[in-house]
Amino acid sequence: MYDLIIKNGYVVSPSSTVQCDVAVQGRMIAGLGHYEETEGRRVIDASGKYVLPGVIEAHMHCMAPFQGALGANSFYEQSISAAFGGVTMYMDFANMGKGDSPYKQALARADEMKESAIDYSVHGKFVESTPEAIADIEKMAESGIPTFKMFMTYKKEGVMSDDETMLKVFEKAKQVNGLPMVHCESNGIAEINIEKCEAKQDFSWVNFAKCKPVLCEAEAFARAVYFAEYVGNALLVVHTTNGEALNTARRAHGKGLPIYVETGPHYLTLFDDLYQGENGHLAICSPPLRTPKEAQELWEGLQDGTILLTGSDDCTFDVDEKSMFLEKNPDGTWKQDFRKVVNGMSGIEIRLPLLLSEGVSKGRISINKVCELTSTNIAKIYGCYPQKGIIAPGSDADLVLVDMEKEVTLSKDVLHNNISYCLHEGFKVKGYPVMTISKGKVIVENGEFKGKQGDGEFIKRKIHPVYLERYGLN
């Protein structure tokens, strides 16, 4: 007798879509095939639905102090919002400052995440390359934390990694099968442009995007890739927004270099015209939103395999935190000053729906590609495959049932992210998750959250060396 049988659904993998049943025993998938209803303690009829491996969110920022703000959600609340978006595992970043131990900060972050209702892991972070910090890379890898992030900007905020730090981290990462992640924006270009705004005393929302143009990102992207080529290590570039950067990645891929590229659905669906409104500060994120031209370049990158991963870069702040340092004009409007706005936007709950709707329903990509971009590829490159990221016997029973005919109009009232606005307000999507299953337990059903605080487990990760030696995840 199986604990759970999901019958009649279309089971999705990167390579196929097969109508069959999924049998679950305990926390694991026991088998795929055809089962009688009498063989299951509970049977879920998934007729007409697609069954995908649970979404993995490897790029979010929750309870992360930034510019004096902490964010709208606790990790438990974040796990609820995530689960409604089909997410069954997420990863966050250690909080780091100069003098901190990357290893100790990563463990502290994991401890903070224990309240999560879904499984979780942690990325380390580097802001300097002292001998003690570099030695922590091996400790993290041995503890199941083989990924660590560096920022190529935010020098004034004290979190930028300089070129020497990047090279030293790259070298050590290569030795221990670790994977550096980089936020690519040229600090020099951004800071000089901000100085020009200061000279003119013009800090309007639209100037935020102008201070960080495409070439600001593309220069840093190319520099990071050249560093990785020089050292010979694998590299993951997060939240890529434009074709200039993708062309650098294509050059690297042509040489077989293991350069992995991530983008986020907000760069596919939101544009810089949002900065023109009174509340344009709510859309400030880094890198900034671009134009439909760059979005089309990203879709092409998804289609041709230049981009193999997606992440929401969820960094959820309500209006009070986004506006906490701003002043008002005499007429009650905001005195625009992008320097005083906390960067970040929500997205963990809508990543899968946006890719299903804008990708699958509009014929841009297949549902199999969505499976790769939201789960399988992420599990592989971040080192938790095949425990996660695939519907196969022996894998965790992390599943999301999707109704490709379900239409939803996104709004703050539909989502569960604890904020009073929605940048996708009125955006109509076709294709939506209707049930989420974590380790064999139904945690979202009929619009109701049924998970439990603290049910999430820390997942130790180890990246297969083949993914770090040459480009590709097959």
What's the pTM value of the predicted model, to 2 decimals?
0.98
Supply the pLDDT for residue 69.
79
Residue 369 has pLDDT above 90, yes or no: yes
Supply the pLDDT for residue 67.
67
- Is there a cis peptide before residue 265, judged by omega within 30 degrees of 0? no
Per-residue tokens: 390: 């695939």
pLDDT tens per residue across span 419-447: 999 999 999 999 999 999 999 999 999 99
pLDDT tens per residue across span 167-188: 999 999 999 999 999 999 999 9
Residue 65 has pLDDT above 80, yes or no: no
Contact 400, 435 (CB under 8 A): yes
Supply the pLDDT for residue 70.
82
Residue 68 has pLDDT above 80, yes or no: no
Supply the pLDDT for residue 405.
98
Percent of the chain whose pLDDT exceeds 90: 97
Q: What's the length of the chain?
A: 474
CA distance 268 to 183: 18
pLDDT tens per residue across span 338-362: 999 999 999 999 999 999 999 999 9
Contact 266, 423 (CB under 8 A): yes
Supply the pLDDT for residue 457.
98
**Which residue intervals of 61-130 are DSSP H helices?**
75-84, 102-112
pLDDT tens per residue across span 270-323: 999 999 989 999 999 999 999 999 999 999 999 999 999 999 999 999 999 999
pLDDT tens per residue across span 134-157: 999 999 999 999 999 999 999 998
**Confidence bin at 133 (pLDDT 50/70/90):** very high
State the chain's mean pLDDT as an integer. Answer: 97
**Confidence bin at 61 (pLDDT 50/70/90):** very high
Residue 180 has a CB neighbour count (10 Å cut-off) of: 27
CA dihedral 61, 65, 66, 70 (to 10 degrees): 80
Backbone angles phi, psi at 34, to 5 degrees: -130, 125
Integer CA distances (angstroms), 89 to 181, 187, 261, 372, in order:
19, 32, 20, 15
Residue 64 has pLDDT above 90, yes or no: no
